[in-house]
Structures are given as structure tokens and as C-alpha cells.
């Protein structure tokens, strides 16, 4: 059978909806179309039962109580509700007092859906410390410990990076935050944007010391436009200021008529991930290693970005020296991949994530993010490796800099004439 082109290797951007998820959703568009808020008839009861079941399915995936799951429109909304909702609830000094409203800790290479709410809070009188990772891309518990202050309200550190797949010390960071809370008698909380992690790797909010966790349906073979926020109910009981006012749905945290078909899909996707995660992870790790070994054994001047081992099984980010990233992406049109996160790939700036790791502009510009998924085959990965290797070689034939490098000239010492 001929290989169907193009090949999709951008699962970190979004995943196709699993047919089993679509099947679970369909009745809730036409037959079971009730509003869960309608308490006086069967249509409303059916819809409420469906959302309750989905709440249980999502809770099981992350080791939470169903009452701790708040449905949202996706991880961006979950992040905003967690970060801004916690900041406003636990602020130390009121706005306009001239004093800091409180302190937040995050990292420079978080997703924009965390960075931008943090930057908004800075404008509103909060202080934010943005931690800088080492070359391996990892934020450690020690870094967080060193940045904690008595007025720290929130630590928000992603579980796994969306561009390079490196895994932060989330469980250890959570433990540090707990110790700090106990020592100061304060209410410092720990939030993690787990969008790339949940559904791919085992999650237990209790053992992992998490107070708030964001996730999105479309990263786990569910529909777009639906996500969830885990909000801890005990030890401590987390409270948030809601960002949407209205009918008081979702325990008052998030008003608005529930997206029942989307929520049913998110629940079904969560259940499938729970059952198939281990098998999927092992298979995808083999495919990722094969892809990386093929590329690094057949090409020189390539670098795999992030930590060599502490990474998600399905995602790799590779920089190709002496090749321009956009040219390479155009050259391998048959392989759908990206040169950064899907949310920032319209920008021609080199990836801010790679720059945070200390990768130079040239290499940052020449990187590809390749992410595999549930239906990626060995044959597809072999084809992608062939195309990437062939086109890197072809583009380098056009590069005088690569010729100079091959001749042993130290390019950092070359003085270029300016006209």
C-alpha cells in the first residue's frame, strides 16, 4: 500500500480526534441535546449524567476527586483561571496601595498561555520571578526553593515543555512548595500547565503535590475547545476568583452553559489514554529513538535540544547547523512538523524556548519539532527521516558556510566585510 502523504508529525500542536471519542460525542449533538442546568426534565438529567461521568473519567486520569474537576474551553482558559484567579484571591496588598500585591514564580520558557497572564499581573502590581533553565531546559526544585519569598502566592511551572519535551521536576517542586507553606503558615500554591504531559505519562495529583493543574482535550485525541482545571479541595482547600460571571456553573469557578458534547469527548479521550498510555508510550519512544538515531548518524552538526533522557517519549526537537529552518520546512512539505509551538509559529523570531536554553539564533532558526502520535507508523517515520536527511544535505550543498566549516575554518573567528 502506498504511503499516504503528507505525514503528520505535529502531534504536540494538536491530535486527531479518536473515532471512539467521536462516537461517544455524537448522540449529545442531536438526541441527547439537553442543558445540564435544566433540572426539571429528562433531557437536562441526561446531559448532567453525561458531564458527571466525564468528570469521573478525567479525575481518574490524574488521580483526583471528580468534584475537583472544572471544565473550561481549554488549557489557555485553565491557565488564566488558575494563575489570575489565585493571584486575585490570595493577593497580599490591595490594588492602588502602592505596595506589591504579591509574588509569583514561573519560568522564561513556559507556554505563552502562562507567560502572558503573568505579564498582565505584573502590570496590575504583582511581582513575577521568571526562572531561567540550564542548557537541558529543566526547572529544578532547587531553583524554585531559591526564589520563594514570604509573599509568594503561586508557583506555576509546566510539567513538560511543548517545544522540546523536557520534563521539569514537578513532584519535587510541589514538595518544596508544601514545605514552604507549612514553614510560613501561608497559602502558597503550586500550579502546573500539564497540557503536554497528561494522557501521555502517569499523573497523580496527590503524590505529585499539585494544587492546580491545566489540561486540554485536543492534545489527547479529544475535541478542540474543551479542557479542564483541577482545583484541590483538601489540604489546602484552594479558592479562586472567577474570571467569568454568570450562572455560577462549575462550583462558581466558571460560569457558562457546559459544552456537553465536548465534555463527553474529553471524558472518553481521558479513559482511552488511561487504558492505552503505557503501550502507546513504549511504542512512541522506540519511534522517536529510531528517528533521532537515523538523523544523528547520517548528518553532522545536528543537536537534539533539551535533556537527552528526561523528555516526553513522542517528541523531539532537532537543530540542523548550516540550514535555515523555514527553507527546510518548505523542502520537506510531505512531512507536517513545526519550527516551534503552534501558537507562535507565525512569528519569524527564533524560538524563545530554544533561546532560553542558550541556543544561538542561527541554530534556533534551524530547528524542527517532530512529534509522533497514536497512529504514527514505523514506515512514516522512516520516510520522514529519509526526506529530512536528503534535504538537509541538499540545502548544505548551497551553503558556503558549510563548505568553510568542512575545510576546518573556525567561523567564529571569521571577520565579515560590510558593504
Report how far residue 313's alpha carbon sits from residue 304's, in angstroms, rounded to the nearest whole number. 14
Q: Say what angle helices 112-123 and 75-89 make with each other, to 10 degrees.
A: 30
Can you tell me whether residue 100 is helix, strand or coil?
A: coil
Instruction: Show which residues are catalytic.
Output: 343
Give ∠ CA 402-403-409 in degrees, rounded to 5.
90
Considering only CA atoms, which of 313, 310, 307 is closest in space to residue 277? 313
* DSSP character at residue 306: S
Which has the closest alpha carbon to 9: 387, 269, 263?
387
**Cα–Cα distances in angstroms (integers) from residue 134 to residues 13, 168, 171, 305, 378, in the given order:** 25, 12, 19, 12, 33
For the stretch 148-151, contacts whose Cβ atoms lie closer than 8 Å and that sit 24 or more positions apart, written own/partner, are: 148/105, 148/176, 148/177, 148/180, 148/188, 149/103, 150/184, 150/186, 151/92, 151/100, 151/102, 151/103
Amino acid at each position: 500500500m502506498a504511503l499516504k502523504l503528507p505525514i503528520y508529525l505535529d502531534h504536540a500542536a494538536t491530535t486527531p480526534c479518536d473515532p471512539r471519542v467521536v462516537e461517544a460525542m455524537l448522540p449529545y449533538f442531536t438526541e441527547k441535546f439537553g442543558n445540564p442546568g435544566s433540572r426539571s426534565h429528562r433531557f437536562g438529567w441526561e446531559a448532567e449524567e453525561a458531564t458527571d461521568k466525564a468528570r469521573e473519567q478525567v479525575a481518574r486520569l490524574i488521580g483526583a476527586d471528580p468534584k475537583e474537576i472544572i471544565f473550561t474551553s481549554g488549557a489557555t482558559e485553565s491557565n488564566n483561571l488558575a494563575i489570575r484567579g489565585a493571584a486575585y484571591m490570595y493577593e497580599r496588598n490591595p490594588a492602588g496601595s502602592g505596595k506589591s500585591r504579591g509574588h509569583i514564580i514561573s519560568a522564561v520558557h513556559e507556554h505563552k498561555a502562562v507567560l502572558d497572564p503573568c505579564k498582565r499581573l505584573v502590570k496590575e502590581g504583582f511581582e513575577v520571578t521568571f526562572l531561567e533553565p540550564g542548557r537541558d531546559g529543566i526547572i529544578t526544585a532547587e531553583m524554585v526553593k531559591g526564589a520563594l519569598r514570604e509573599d509568594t502566592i503561586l508557583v506555576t511551572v509546566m510539567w513538560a515543555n511543548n517545544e522540546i519535551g523536557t520534563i521539569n521536576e514537578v513532584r519535587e517542586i510541589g514538595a518544596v512548595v508544601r514545605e514552604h507553606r507549612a514553614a510560613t503558615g501561608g497559602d502558597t500554591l503550586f500550579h502546573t500547565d500539564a497540557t503536554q504531559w497528561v494522557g501521555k505519562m502517569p499523573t497523580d495529583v496527590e503524590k505529585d503535590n499539585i494544587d492546580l493543574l491545566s489540561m486540554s482535550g485536543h492534545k489527547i485525541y479529544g475535541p478542540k475547545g474543551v479542557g479542564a482545571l483541577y482545583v484541590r479541595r483538601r489540604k489546602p482547600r484552594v479558592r479562586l476568583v472567577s474570571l467569568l460571571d454568570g450562572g455560577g456553573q462549575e462550583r462558581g469557578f466558571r460560569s457558562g452553559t457546559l459544552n456537553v458534547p465536548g465534555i463527553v469527548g474529553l471524558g472518553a479521550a481521558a479513559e482511552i489514554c488511561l487504558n492505552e498510555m503505557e503501550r502507546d508510550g513504549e511504542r512512541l519512544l522506540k519511534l522517536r529513538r529510531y528517528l533521532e538515531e537515523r538523523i544523528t548518524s547520517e548528518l553532522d552538526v545536528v543537536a537534539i535540544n533539551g535533556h537527552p533522557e528526561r523528555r516526553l517519549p513522542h517528541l523531539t526537537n532537532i537543530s540542523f547547523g548550516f540550514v535555515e529552518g523555514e527553507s527546510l520546512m518548505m523542502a520537506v512539505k510531505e512531512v507536517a512538523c513545526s519550527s516551534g509551538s503552534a501558537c507562535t509559529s507565525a512569528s519569524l523570531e527564533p524560538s524563545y524556548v530554544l533561546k532560553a536554553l542558550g541556543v544561538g539564533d542561527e541554530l534556533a532558526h534551524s530547528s524542527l519539532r517532530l512529534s509522533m502520535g497514536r497512529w504514527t507508523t514505523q514506515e512514516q517515520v522512516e520516510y520522514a527521516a529519509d526526506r529530512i536527511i536528503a534535504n538537509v544535505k541538499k540545502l548544505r550543498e548551497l551553503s558556503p558556510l558549510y563548505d568553510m566549516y568542512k575545510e576546518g575554518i573556525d567561523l567564529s573567528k571569521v571577520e565579515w566585510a560590510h558593504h
